[in-house]
Amino acid sequence: MKLKEIQGGVCAPKGFKANGVHCGIRKNKLKRDFALIVSEVRAATAGVYTSNLVKGAPVIVTKRNLTDGYAQAIICNSGNANTCNDNGIEIAEQTCLLVEHAGGISSKDVVVASTGVIGQKLDLSPMADHIGELWNGLGDNSDFAAEAIMTTDTVKKSVAVQFTVGGVKCAIGAIAKGVGMVCPNMATNLIFLTSDVAITPQMLQTALSADVKNSFNMLSVDGDQSTNDTCCIMANGLAGNKLIDAKGSDYKAFCRALNYCTVKLTKMLAKDGEGATKLIECRVIGADKKNTAAAVAKSVIKSSLVKAAMFGSDANWGRVLCAIGYAGVKVDINAVDVAFSSRKGVLAVCKGGFGIEFSEEIAKEILSEDEITIEINLNSGKAEATAWGCDLTYDYVKINGDYRT
């Protein structure tokens, strides 16, 4: 059975419910800021997190709670990151206890996450006052949860797919947020995935850790890494497939579905980057090895000058070559070809490391689209990699100039 996109987000797999409410952390009463995702049963759970030395308290508590590889709920607030606070661990632990008191799920089986302003203390009382409302409203409300975890995101990000494992119909669903402070090294901002596949915690962790290398770790909005990056997946086994406890065809089917979801979310996150008007994809082929291709793709997608050129629809390919040159990997610059492409066509701009003649009018037309691909051929091997990002606009500075106030 081929992958089939379905509706439902994190509620698409069997046995999952979700909700999101406004509890008052955010001043805007029209914005939901408190989310909850619950499985009917304890689920194998895996996570990847920020490698920033400055870590939000929820990251620390979540990693501790997942030492046994299981969880049953995910709770998250937006508007405050609960980071760099002397009582942060206590607040994160008490947030987990709210779930225990409301629904009887052990606080040790809770993934806790926060997102928003760093360095401001998080008051527990708004969440404590609304945990009953949040719990009682659990249902097929993935969109409410997706909205509640947003900060400067302008659109909700959700995906779900149906697939088969050993002839059994299964599903993966996901929601995500994060359009600023995005250049991760293990996860990006907040991503919550659910699945009804039966899989061991060990194999689930193996799958997620491998997947992020080619999805979320290949994303950059602004080159800044968050303190609260968390990507977690719960798999409760309610689909009824034979337990995946080793690599094989069933494991590959699961990984394929997982990657479909993570790559789609990565593109959504990139396209909604703070102030962004364009999704930029950098596709590198012909590398001597995978690490080379990945480093080049990431270097180009992170370049502020490349991002600014894409905003201005300027085919300034020299900036692409420049970013390749400082990627920190060995590349034969005299073998590099570069082209720009979009729905309007493909335009070659560089051959063998040197510029070639092209029409500025055609270049402008191609680069004026809202989804652009920078195609790079290193002509040195068969390895390839893709990275995703966005253009750099005036609005990015405006958004972050007064983010806190």
Cβ pair 25, 127 in contact under 8 A? yes
Residue 184 pLDDT > 90 = no
Domains of the chain: 4-271 (3.60.70.12), 279-401 (3.10.20.340)
pLDDT of residue 188: 58
Q: Which of 62, 188, 266, 373 does the annotation list as catalytic?
A: 188
Average pLDDT, the chain: 95
Confidence of residue 65 (pLDDT cuts 50, 70, 90): very high
pLDDT score at 42: 98
User: Which whole number is the average pLDDT over 269-294?
Assistant: 95
- Categorize the per-residue pLDDT at 113 as very low, low, confident or very high, splitting at 50, 70 and 90: very high
Joined tokens for residue 366: 């191609």
Q: Look at the alpha carbons of 271, 187, 194, 18 in this order and tell me if their dihedral is positive or negative.
A: negative
Q: In the structure encoding, which two tokens stand for residue 325, read together?
A: 């040159």
Residue found under tokens 């800021």: 33
Closest CA to 364 of 404, 290, 314: 314
Q: What is the pLDDT of residue 186?
A: 55
pLDDT band (50, 70, 90) for residue 259: very high
Helix (H) or strand (E) holding 362: helix 360-367
User: According to the model, what pLDDT value does residue 189 have?
Assistant: 82
Q: Is 266 a catalytic residue?
A: no
pTM of the entire structure? 0.93
- Residue 287's alpha-carbon distances to 55, 125, 151, 301, in angstroms, are 35, 54, 37, 17
pLDDT at 303 over 60: yes
- Res 1: pLDDT: 61
Q: Which residues contact 64 (CB under 8 A, 6 or more apart)?
A: none
What per-residue confidence (pLDDT) applies to 291?
A: 97
Residues in the chain: 405
Sign of CA pseudo-dihedral 200, 74, 157, 177: negative
Q: What is the per-residue pLDDT across 70-94, written as a single tens digit (0 to 9) for each?
A: 999 999 999 999 999 999 999 999 9
At 329-382, the pLDDT tens digits run 999 999 999 999 999 999 999 999 999 999 999 999 999 999 999 999 999 999
Question: Which DSSP helix (H) or strand (E) runs through 319?
Answer: helix 317-325
The pLDDT tens digits of the residues spanning 223-232 come to 777 888 899 9
**Beta pairing class for 279-287 and 110-117:** unpaired
In the structure, what pLDDT confidence band is assigned to residue 2 with cuts at 50, 70 and 90? confident
Other C-beta atoms closer than 10 Å to the C-beta of 371 total 14
Q: What are the C-alpha distances in Å from 163 to residues 166, 173, 184, 221, 383?
A: 10, 12, 29, 31, 28
Q: What is the percentage of the chain residues whose pLDDT exceeds 70?
A: 98
According to the model, what pLDDT value does residue 7 have?
97
Question: Average pLDDT in the 303-318 region?
Answer: 96
Residue 404 has pLDDT above 70, yes or no: no
Q: For the segment 3-28, what is each residue's pLDDT rounded down to a tens digit? A: 999 999 999 999 999 999 999 999 88
**What is the rounded distance in angstroms from the CA atom of residue 41 to the CA atom of residue 19?**
17
Write the burial class of residue 29 (CB in 10 Å: 0-12 exposed, 13-18 middle, 19+ buried).
Answer: exposed
Given a cut of 90, whether residue 51 has pLDDT beyond it is no
Q: Are the C-beta atoms of 158 and 264 separated by less than 8 Å? A: no
Element (H or E) spanning 266, and its range?
A: helix 249-271
- Give the model confidence (pLDDT) of 140-183 as tens digits: 999 999 999 999 899 999 999 999 999 999 999 999 998 877 77
Tokens at 50, concatenated: 């920020």
Q: In this model, does residue 99 exceed pLDDT 90? A: yes
pLDDT of residue 182: 75
Residue 315: Cβ within 10 Å count: 23
Spatial distance between the Cα atoms of 26 and 61, rounded to a whole number of angstroms: 23
Q: pLDDT tens digits, residue range 200-221?
A: 999 999 999 999 999 999 998 8
| CA separation for the pair 193, 158 (Å, rounded) | 10
